[in-house]
Amino acid sequence: MNTLAHKVRSSVTVSGTALLLAAAGFGLAPTASAGEPQPPTLAVATAAPAEVGLAGLPVAFTTKVSNTGAYDTSSARLIYRIDGGAGLPSNAVSLQYRLSGTAWKTVPLTYADEKFSGEIPETFPLAAGRSRTVQLRIGVPMGTPHNGDSNGGTQRLKLTTLVSYGSSGAATGTDDDTIKVDGLSTGLSGVPATVTAGGSAVSFEATVTNPTASRYENVTDTLITNRYASVQVLRSGTWKTLKPLTSNAEADVYGFDVIGKDASLAAHSSTVAKVRVTYRKDTPTGKATVQPCVFVNEGSIPFRGTTSCGDRATLTVLAAGSTGSNPGTPVPSPTASATPAPSGSPSTSAEAPSATSGTTSGTSGASSQLAKTGSSGTSTIAAAAGAFLLAGAGALGVVGLRRRRTRA
């Protein structure tokens, strides 16, 4: 009897203390029911990179998870949503992580409704009042090495981070970030206005610029011209004659790899190649064009990969033996830029070169590739050097891939 009364009095005392604390503005820490774990309170903050390069290597960033509640968790979970819009193919985005050690592990991503989503396969414990920083890196590889995707592009990624706990716990915190997507640009400078068929070479420079935080591998900068041209590049103080690249689809279009196949570019860097071109004595007089196109992850098939084409330059081919000109005098030539068009405006590409030389105008006979990109379904013309058709039905594809999605 006395024992029961003691228990009752103890209960009343605790209840009365709780009321007094509550009245004073304080509260007791919640207590777990027998056999029933209490949920933690998790918050998340992602320090996403400011930019990544289209078809470049991934850029590192971090996500910090904090347990701001009074209860521990044995299994914190990190989930990511990535929205790049309608302009990206399903192989466009990569996400990697590491909780410990130096090895990067893959976050499996699924692609549905024009969005990527995935969860870090490993969970981790997090005590009340503690935090943990997870290392990650994100990229827009646009395919795989030597198999770059030649369709799509975007100006930005919207990255959403969610944190949860347990096998089916609801997200307790989210964080939204925007990542700019840019890419390589290529251009020519100092291209002369005239050249004499069978005469001296004309010299100019070809520049590839990487304005992004991504490092690039497997980069090939190609000068597109015609079958009458011979191209040399200055390497280690010696002029080296380049072997032309051709396709059965466009026999009159020649390409020359001016920086070599599968070059690398550091973040925020550029490379310049000194080039000189001669035209055969039997070159028809009239207009001839040269245009740079940079390919990332080009494979065994020439002119295929993630592509950016710069502005073309036009030379006037004078008759062999002509003395009424100074073909060695350069005139200003536009330097190409692959900077995306402003948001809300459809992006336009450099006009495709005709790849012809002669007194009559016209194209080489192929049609340019169209691609429907963007939420508005607007068709934009790819910067198609040589106006090739996209490969897939047997035709070789030189397709300029700055197909940026347009936003309403």
- Structural domain contains residue 381: no
Find the mean pLDDT for residues 16-28: 39
- Structural domain contains residue 366: no
Higher pLDDT, 395 or 73: 73
Please enumerate in sequence order all residues whose Cβ is within 8 A of that of 361, keeping only pairs 6 or more positions apart, or say none: 287, 354
Q: State the distance between the two ends of the chain, measured CA to CA, in whole angstroms.
A: 78
- In 258-351, DSSP assigns E strands to 263-265, 269-279, 286-296, 306-309, 313-318
- DSSP-based three-state secondary structure for 22: helix
Of 286, 310, 341, the position where a domain reaches its end is 341
Q: Does one domain contain both 191 and 54?
A: no
Total domains, the chain: 2
Q: Does one domain contain both 156 and 279?
A: no
Token pair belonging to 371: 């691609």
Rounded Cα–Cα distance for residues 353 and 191 (Å): 15
- pLDDT at position 323: 65
Rounded Cα–Cα distance for residues 385 and 395 (Å): 14
Please enumerate in sequence order all residues whose Cβ is within 8 A of that of 227, keeping only pairs 6 or more positions apart, or say none: 244, 246, 251, 252, 253, 254
Q: Does one domain contain both 312 and 190?
A: yes
- Structural domain contains residue 117: yes
Domain with residue 285: its CATH number is 2.60.40.10
- Residue 112: pLDDT band with limits 50, 70, 90: very high
Closest C-alpha among 48, 47, 156 to residue 92: 156
Please enumerate in sequence order all residues whose Cβ is within 8 A of that of 351, keeping only pairs 6 or more positions apart, or say none: 312
Q: How many residues does the chain have?
A: 408
- pLDDT at position 321: 85
Of 181, 211, 240, the position where a domain reaches its end is 181
- pLDDT at position 2: 47
> CB–CB of 361/266 below 8 Å?
no
- DSSP-based three-state secondary structure for 46: strand
- Residue 103: pLDDT band with limits 50, 70, 90: very high
Q: Which of 120-124, 244-248, 302-306, 317-321 has the lowest mean pLDDT?
A: 244-248
- pLDDT at position 322: 78
Q: Does one domain contain both 66 and 176?
A: yes
- pLDDT at position 233: 98
Q: Does one domain contain both 53 and 159?
A: yes
Task: Assess whether pLDDT exceeds 50 at residue 27.
Answer: no
Of the chain, the percentage scoring pLDDT greater than 90 comes to: 62
- Structural domain contains residue 123: yes
Q: Does one domain contain both 189 and 325?
A: yes
Closest C-alpha among 235, 249, 42, 222 to residue 126: 42
Q: Does one domain contain both 170 and 299?
A: no
Find the mean pLDDT for residues 20-35: 40
- Structural domain contains residue 115: yes
Token pair belonging to 364: 């080489």
> CB–CB of 218/145 below 8 Å?
yes
Q: Does one domain contain both 271 and 157?
A: no
Strand 173-182 and strand 51-53: pairing? parallel
Task: Assess whether pLDDT exceeds 90 at residue 250.
Answer: no
Task: Assess whether pLDDT exceeds 90 at residue 26.
Answer: no
- Residue 379: pLDDT band with limits 50, 70, 90: very low
Please state the separation of Cα 4 from the chain's center in Å: 73
Q: Does one domain contain both 116 and 207?
A: no
H/E run at residue 74:
strand 73-83
- Structural domain contains residue 316: yes
Task: Assess whether pLDDT exceeds 70 at residue 55.
Answer: yes
Place of tokens 């925020």: 268
Of 304, 321, 341, the position where a domain reaches its end is 341
Q: What is the pLDDT of residues 169-187, one digit of tens each?
A: 688 999 999 999 999 999 9
Q: For the chain, percent helix, then strand, then coil, each to nearest 5? A: 5, 40, 50
Place of tokens 């943990």: 132
Q: Does one domain contain both 190 and 337?
A: yes
Q: Does one domain contain both 77 and 206?
A: no
- pLDDT at position 151: 84
Closest C-alpha among 83, 93, 104, 110 to residue 52: 93
H/E run at residue 2:
helix 2-23
Domain containing 225 equals 185-341
Rounded Cα–Cα distance for residues 197 and 124 (Å): 70
The contacts found for 365-373 with CB under 8 angstroms, 24 or more apart, are 366/249, 366/250, 369/397, 369/399, 371/151, 371/152, 371/403, 373/86, 373/87, 373/152, 373/153, 373/403, 373/404, 373/405, 373/406
Task: Assess whether pLDDT exceeds 50 at residue 394.
Answer: no
**In terms of C-beta density within 10 A (0-12 exposed, 13-18 middle, 19 or more buried), how is residue 43 classed?**
middle
